[in-house]
């Protein structure tokens, strides 16, 4: 068992995109991600939903059905096979839970 401070994990990260696993729960990855002034490419995941929980900042999740804007303490689930991308203007920290290899 490991304890993590989500506030402190972003300290020292200067990349515009940094994502790393911090744990696994029931076979699902728990990832910490920092995004700054970046737009991910459009993509989908055939076999896994993807949960985005915003810790700080604002994240725009573009999907086939429109844009979903998330701020701190909000979450959104992108269902498997849904084409999507994340966009951030400024800096955001995010917790991502998925079963993507």
Domain ranges of the chain: 17-98
pLDDT digits (tens, 9 = 90+) for 76-100: 999 999 999 999 999 999 999 999 8
Q: How far apart are CA 51 and CA 78, in angstroms?
A: 6
**pLDDT 10s digits, 53-67:** 999 999 999 999 999
Fold designation for 17-98: Jelly Rolls (2.60.120)
Note the pLDDT tens digit of each residue in 15-38: 999 999 999 999 999 999 999 999
Of 1, 10, 33, 24, nearest to 101 by C-alpha is 24
| Maximum alpha-carbon separation in the chain | 39
pLDDT at 101 over 80: no
How high is the pLDDT of residue 61?
A: 98
């Amino acid at each position: 068992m490991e304890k993590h401070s989500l506030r402190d994990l972003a300290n020292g990260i200067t990349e515009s995109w940094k994502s790393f696993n911090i744990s696994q729960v029931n076979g699902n990855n728990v990832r910490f991600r920092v995004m700054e002034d970046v737009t991910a490419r459009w993509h989908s995941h055939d076999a896994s939903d993807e949960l985005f929980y915003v810790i700080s900042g604002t994240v725009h999740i573009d999907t086939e059905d429109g844009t979903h804007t998330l701020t701190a303490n909000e979450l959104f689930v992108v269902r498997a096979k849904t084409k999507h991308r994340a966009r951030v203007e400024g800096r955001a920290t995010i917790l991502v839970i998925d079963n993507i290899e």
